[in-house]
């Protein structure tokens, strides 16, 4: 029977942390393809700058200072944890190998966790507000066409919908800019910790040593103009429609945003159709066979979390 000493507990912590670190490299997260990581140093971040698209004008007279519009869009950080309890009797009986895979899985889950926040948020974009007070995917985003900012807002949609379509929603995005359609806000990076002192309540009362990881973060939306939700059959026609729609978006004042979608985000059920459609050299246009002009024009991200 093993004698539990501070040296043994320190050795166990080192070993389990090594298992945890090994698990960190097992996952290949996808969130960073559609989300920009923004550091946070407080309980929440306010993104007033989301109301502005920086641009240039001819410098005549004084500079025209564009103050950030106070939309008041906030992302509040949340705290998350994952823990494993190791029984004192397992340590005494040298029955510790059963825990190594658990700590490796904890590491894998830590790397993949941002995906668990990011893709469900995207799917809930029809019922989740963004900076302009509308749902992220909405048919009535207000855009002011007047140069001086005065006048009536126009309603602009970032949804393409076929009322007869019964399949899953897929998305077209421009992820080439400094900020992507989703914000991953990071307050505290994952930290591996332990409760192994004899005076710890769990050790004294239940003979259990606790190991775990905790972090603080959250997700939110950035510019709605950078993403279009498509509820229509995937085809080159619907893809052209989304591409054209996004290219026509303008900032307040009528300045073209010059967006160019480059990424298709879709659930696993559409993977085969998307792959076959985009890889074809030739497609049918009515009764005529023509070159597939969209071949190689888009990257594809297939998420099992949508």
Sign, Cα dihedral of 257, 227, 221, 190: negative
**CB crowding 46-77: b at 16 or more within 10 Å, else e:** ebebbbebeeeeeeeeeeeebeeeebebebeb
Per-residue confidence (pLDDT) for residue 6, from 0 to 100: 78
- What pLDDT is attached to residue 58? 47
Domain assignment present for residue 65? The answer is: no
Strands 299-303 and 263-267 turn out to be parallel
For residue 20, is it within any domain?
A: yes
Evaluate whether residue 306 is within a structural domain: no
pLDDT digits (tens, 9 = 90+) for 237-281: 999 999 999 999 998 778 889 999 999 999 999 999 999 888 877
Which domain range does residue 121 map to? 9-51+73-263
Decide if pLDDT at 115 tops 50: yes
pLDDT attached to residue 287:
63
At residue 265, the pLDDT reads: 98
Q: What burial class does residue 209 get, using C-beta atoms within 10 Å of its C-beta: 0-12 exposed, 13-18 middle, 19+ buried?
A: buried
Cβ neighbours of 19 (radius 10 Å): 19
pTM for the model stands at: 0.86
User: What is d(CA 200, CA 189) in angstroms, rounded to the nearest whole number?
Assistant: 25
In 3D space, the residue among 81, 29, 72 whose CA is nearest the CA of residue 214 turns out to be 81
Q: State the average pLDDT for the chain.
A: 86
- Contact between 153 and 222 under an 8 Å Cβ cutoff? The reply is no
Instruction: Give pLDDT tens digits for 216-234.
Output: 999 999 999 999 999 999 9
Residue 83 within a domain: yes
165-224: pLDDT as tens digits: 999 999 999 999 999 999 999 999 999 998 877 777 776 667 788 888 999 999 999 999
Q: Within a domain: residue 304?
A: no
Residue 152 is given by DSSP the state: P
In this prediction, residues 287-302 reach a mean pLDDT of 82
Tell me how far the alpha carbon of residue 240 is from its chain's centroid: 25
Does residue 285 lie within any of the structural domains? Answer: no
Q: Is the pLDDT of residue 292 over 80?
A: no
pLDDT surpassing 70 at residue 45: yes
Question: Is it the case that residue 107 has pLDDT exceeding 90?
Answer: yes
On the question of pLDDT at 9 being above 60, the answer is yes
- Specify the pLDDT at position 282: 65
Report if residue 273 sits inside a domain: no
Q: pLDDT tens, 58-78?
A: 455 554 444 434 456 899 999
Residue 291, in any domain of the structure = no
Number of domains in the chain: 1
Query: How sure is the predictor about 286, in pLDDT bands with cuts at 50, 70 and 90?
Result: low
CA distance 47 to 219: 12
CB burial class (10 A; 0-12, 13-18, 19+) of residue 20? buried
Q: What is the pLDDT of residue 8?
A: 81
Sign of CA dihedral 173, 175, 180, 182: positive
The interaxial angle of helices 6-24 and 100-123, nearest 10 deg, is 40
């Amino acid at each position: 029977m093993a004698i539990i000493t501070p040296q043994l507990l320190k050795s166990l912590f080192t070993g389990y942390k090594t298992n945890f670190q090994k698990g960190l490299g097992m996952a290949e997260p996808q969130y960073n393809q559609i989300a920009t990581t923004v550091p946070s140093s407080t309980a929440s971040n306010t993104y007033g700058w989301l109301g502005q698209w920086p641009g240039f004008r001819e410098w005549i007279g004084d500079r025209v200072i564009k103050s950030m519009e106070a939309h008041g869009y906030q992302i509040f950080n949340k705290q998350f944890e994952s823990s494993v309890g190791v029984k004192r009797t397992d340590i005494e009986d040298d029955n510790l190998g059963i825990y190594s895979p658990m700590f490796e899985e904890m590491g894998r889950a830590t790397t993949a966790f941002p995906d668990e926040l990011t893709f469900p948020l995207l799917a809930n974009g029809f019922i989740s507000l963004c900076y302009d007070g509308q749902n992220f995917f909405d048919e009535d985003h207000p855009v002011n066409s007047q140069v001086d900012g005065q006048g009536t807002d126009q309603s602009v949609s970032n949804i393409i919908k076929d009322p007869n379509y019964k399949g899953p929603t897929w998305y077209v995005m421009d992820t080439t800019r400094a900020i992507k359609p989703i914000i991953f806000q990071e307050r505290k990076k994952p930290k591996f910790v332990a409760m192994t002192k004899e005076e710890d309540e769990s050790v004294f009362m239940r003979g259990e040593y606790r190991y775990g990881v905790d972090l603080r973060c959250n997700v939110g939306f950035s510019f709605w103009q950078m993403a279009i939700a498509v509820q229509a059959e995937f085809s080159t026609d619907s893809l052209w429609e989304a591409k054209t729609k996004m290219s026509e978006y303008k900032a307040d004042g009528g300045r073209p945003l010059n967006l160019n979608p480059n990424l298709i985000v879709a659930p696993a059920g559409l993977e085969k159709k998307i792959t076959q459609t985009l890889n074809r050299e030739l497609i049918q246009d009515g009764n005529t066979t023509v070159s597939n002009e969209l071949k190689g024009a888009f990257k594809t991200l297939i998420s099992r979390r949508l």
